[in-house]
Chains A and B, each alone.
Chain A
Amino acid sequence: MNRIVPYFATFLLLLLGSAPANAALSIFACEPEWAALASELAGARATVYAATTAQQNVHMVQARPSLIARARNADLLICSGADLEVGWLPPVIQQSGNERIVPGKRGNLEAANYVPLLDVPAVVDRALGDLHPRGNPHVHLDPHNLLKVAHELELRLAALDPAGATEYASRAKAFAARMETAIRHWEERAAPLRGVGVIEHHKEFTYLFHWLGMTVLGSLEPKPGVEPTSSHLEELLRQQKESPAKLILQANNRDPRPAQWLSEKTATPAVALPWTLGGDAAARDLFSLFDELIDLMLKARKS
């Protein structure tokens, strides 16, 4: 037993050495966009941890030990919600033993609860694919939704850290002003995209297309969450001859081959888009993300 003690003490010291630094708040964001929004509003008053990256499929994340450890000390958890994280977030929250972030608490913010949801299925049946009964969870790609979530986030931050309330309020106000100006600018720039028919890979850009008035004519996935099949691609090929889409769009973390195949067969440009910040070098924050998305689509439209 005596031999173990020094090892154990060293081990504990190592662990204590990795204890988190002290900001007023610790925020656990399920996706990079919510991490960015939290940083915009909280500034240096919070340490923000992004649980996933733009390269990952956030529906299929593992409930990794590192996520559980990070959730343990979080004062606030901000996620897309609407079952996007249903496969991993519940065990992460449970195992973290952190009562402040359980659903229903002030420290648990699901963005989908504060915005109008699209694609709410009338019939919920797994034969129709991996449906989200509450609606499409990829809400951040309509910047109007970011404003709505920012408003709720400001209230939560102020409630959790009253000492910073004035700072959160002024930051939220500044963010909203910047965002509103940017939205006007984006809507002007994206005017040529209005009414443009597109084929998507997965329903992850629904809010973007809806916001910019673009029309989805088909999906590479035969059903939500089901990988593209050759028979379905043949069907899209036939459809493309009758009512052609102008663009084939997909997130750049998806397999590019189905989109490329259809693009070559139909001479329709295929574009890989960053679905959130960090998705490519240009999409660094919430503003440059939309700049980049609109840039890429306009460029492809002209070519």
Chain B
Amino acid sequence: MKENDVNRPKAWLLAFAWVLPLFGLLPAHAAGDNEIETLRGELTELRRTYEARLQALEQRLETAEAQRTPAVVPASTAQASPPEAAGAARAQSAGTFNPALSLILNGTFSDQSLAPSEYRVTGYQPAGQTAPLARSFSLGESELFVTANVDHYFMGALNLSLNDADRATVEEAYFRTLELGRGLNLKGGRFLSGIGYQNSVHAHAWDFVDPSLVQRALLGDNYGDDGLQLTWLAPTDRFLELGVEAGRGHQRVGYAADNPADANGVGSMAAFAHLGDDVGTGGSYRLGLSYLRQRANTVGLPLADLDTVTGTTNLFRGRSSLYGLDAVYKWSPQGNTQYQGLKLVAEVFSLHRDGILTYDVNPSTGGAGAQGLGPQVDPLRLTQTGWYIQGVWQFDPVWRTGLRYDRLEAPSLEAGANASRLSGADFRPQRLSLMLDWNPSEFSRIRLQLSQDRSQPGARDDQIFLQYNYSLGAHGAHGY
């Protein structure tokens, strides 16, 4: 770049910097110090008169209230009195522009026949990578939501997740456009991906204590990323929404090796489509199709469950593609959700890995390398597929019960020269959960859940969870 090119903007800035104060001085000259003082005085006077008037009005309201006999309210005076009451509620304060805050408190008491440290999902998640909730009393996950409009173009939101190990994580921190129009919404920052149905639902709004097995095994409970999301709603009477996402890929799909991608460009891409409508007077549905692709520049792939020997560390380089299908159906008599309602959800996810596996890069761990086998590099194709179906029946204004069945298929594996060291585990993890919850108001929920988890061969985990879930602060709104 030539020196002139650099200097030109500098010159403009200089000129601007000189001219700006001149403009700033103009009104000040026009007004003059005396006039400012006069204006200030007038303002104070105005404020005083208003305060006096307000007090007088309040007094009148009080006397009127005292005189009014409760039994008879003539229609004419009834019309005149309320505005003052409304005015009082609109009183301004320094907090007017504060963001809306809402806090979720959540905790559990649980009893599990298997120690959480022993928990694994055969063929999907080795022990120590994922676990059900802690046993006995535990705090679970508290969430803090802060949200407000930034200006007329953007809104901003932060969702902090505070877990029982005293760690705070930024679950979401994003901006979104307010007035892009034409059915478009642009979101940027960190947010939960729009793939699938349950993935973008926060933990406090789940219908069960824990996420589905497939979501836990492939999406790490909730898959989120740092990036951008653009959605478009078709201008038709039938709901058709399309969305695309581009991100860093900082949260890995599948095995939870959460390596930060140290690479330029876009590390992951996602796309989804939603179609939905009403069915009759009481029913509605939404169908979804999702796709997520991640580039893996040599990440750890702990295939612990598939290894024939223990203590290995593997590296994977290649592409991970996730396909998803989801369906939601809701029904309530005449669409009145107050007394009864049914919600059915089913989702399928399939993860395909295609790349190169460097098997056992760390012989010092006493793994295969130590046994004289040495690291070996060869193509890897791995497919992991799982699904669930759940139904929640609200049989009373405050009571709901639900049943969920989870199933993961045995992974299919083509490991080339590494095949002798990896066994495609011929086991299909499954789980059955029964839930009953009591919702005395929109803001509280007490839930009992019984699960029978068969995620590993020969060891059944019987789980009992008792959970509280409270939301404090701003009245939240939930998506479909």
Contacts and interface: CB of A to CB of B under 8 A. Distances in A.
A135 B75 CA distance: 20
A290 B151 CA distance: 43
A96 B233 contact: yes
A66 B277 contact: yes
Given A15-B236, A72-B183, A97-B233, A64 B336 contact: no
A86 B474 CA distance: 10
B119 to A, nearest CB: 35
B264 to A, nearest CB: 30
Nearest to A116: B82
Contacts of B275: 65
A63 interface: yes
A98 interface: yes
B15 interface: no
A20 B237 contact: yes
Contacts of A72: 183, 233-236
B235 A56 contact: no
Contact of B179 (A18, A68, A70, A99): A99
Contact of B240 (A15, A56, A194): A15
B72 A144 contact: no
Given A19-B237, A118-B82, A130-B441, A66 B284 contact: yes
A64 B184 CA distance: 18
Given A61-B337, A210-B78, A69 B70 contact: no
A288 interface: no
B237 A18 contact: yes
Interface centre among A68, A215, A226 (most CB of B within 10 A): A68
B17 interface: no
A96 B236 contact: no
B23 to A, nearest CB: 30
Nearest to B336: A56
A233 interface: no
B245 to A, nearest CB: 16
Contacts of B477: 63, 86-91
A90 B475 CA distance: 11
A23 to B, nearest CB: 14
A293 B241 CA distance: 42
Contacts of A118: 82, 85
Contacts of A210: 73, 78
Given A15-B234, A95-B241, A213-B72, A62 B443 contact: no
Contact of B442 (A65, A73, A130): A130
A199 to B, nearest CB: 15
A173 interface: no
Contacts of A97: 180-185, 231-233
A16 B86 CA distance: 47
B47 interface: no
Interface in B173-187: 176, 178-185
Interface in A94-122: 94-100, 102, 116-118, 120
B479 interface: yes
Interface string A14-34: 011011100000000000000
B12 interface: no
Contact of B276 (A64, A94, A126, A135): A64
Contacts of A116: 79, 82-83, 85-86
A55 interface: yes
Interface in B147-184: 176, 178-184
B442 A55 contact: no
A69 B85 CA distance: 38
Given A96-B233, A102-B178, A225-B441, A64 B183 contact: no
B295 interface: no
Interface centre among A52, A70, A194 (most CB of B within 10 A): A194
A173 to B, nearest CB: 21
A106 to B, nearest CB: 13
Interface in B260-291: 274-278, 281, 284-286
B22 interface: no
Interface residues of B, number: 63
B18 interface: no
Given A87-B477, A195-B71, A69 B233 contact: yes
B262 to A, nearest CB: 34
B276 A66 contact: yes
B239 interface: yes
Interface in B226-264: 231-241
A134 interface: yes
A218 interface: no
B89 interface: yes
Given A68-B239, A195-B71, A91 B178 contact: no
B411 to A, nearest CB: 28
A195 B75 CA distance: 11
A261 interface: no
B89 A211 contact: no
Contacts of A213: 72-75, 78
A95 B335 contact: no
B338 interface: yes
Interface string B435-451: 00000111100000000
B73 A99 contact: no
Contacts of B185: 94-95, 97
B97 interface: no
Shortest beta-carbon contacts, A-B, top 7 = A65-B276, A65-B239, A116-B82, A99-B179, A99-B181, A97-B183, A69-B239
Given A69-B276, A253-B336, 10 more contacts: A19-B236, A61-B337, A63-B478, A65-B276, A66-B278, A68-B233, A70-B237, A83-B475, A88-B477, A226-B441
7 contacts: A19-B237, A55-B335, A65-B286, A91-B480, A97-B185, A130-B441, A225-B442
